Amino acid sequence: MLGLLIIFGFQLLGIALHKLGVPLPGSVLGLLLFTAALAIGLVKLEWVDRTATFLVRHMMLLFIPVMAGLTQLSAELRRDGVALLASLVVSLLAVILTTGGLAHFLLRDHQTAIPASAEKE
């Protein structure tokens, strides 16, 4: 229960900060604060590990309400489906290209050099 309390506490803290005017979604703020708390040792991994593993293992169950809610929006989805699909494809490509470009940029200096002993062979 401690892990659940900690995780939901950071979620609620993020939502509260968003309502106070921080221009990021509350869930993102909560995750950033939680990650920072883990990094600096304010929260110990052992406190949240079992709960986080459980939540990730059963993540699909958490999407059922979202999928049920989408059935209520079927008319809107039919009307705006092409625009939504185009937006998803463009967003996906942007994320893939940005991630690949950033990885290439960050790893360009870390390519393995050929050892001097291998060059003589």
Write down the residue that tokens 């062979």 correspond to.
121
- Dihedral pair phi/psi, residue 115, rounded to 5°: -60, 150
Look up the pTM and report it: 0.54
Task: Give the tens place of pLDDT for each residue, 20-67.
Answer: 998 888 889 999 999 999 999 898 989 998 998 898 888 888 788 888
Q: Return the percent helix, strand and coil in the chain, to nearest 5.
A: 85, 0, 15
* CB-based contacts of 48, cutoff 8 Å, min separation 6: 2, 3, 6, 7, 38
DSSP 108: G
Confidence of residue 73 (pLDDT cuts 50, 70, 90): confident
Nearest in space to 47 (alpha carbons), one of 1, 92, 15, 115: 1
Model pLDDT, residue 76:
84
Q: What stretches of the chain adopt beta strand conformation (E)?
A: none
Task: Give the tens place of pLDDT for each residue, 84-108.
Answer: 899 999 999 999 999 999 998 888 8
Give the number of C-alpha atoms closer than 13 A to the C-alpha of residue 30, restricted to the C-beta side: 16
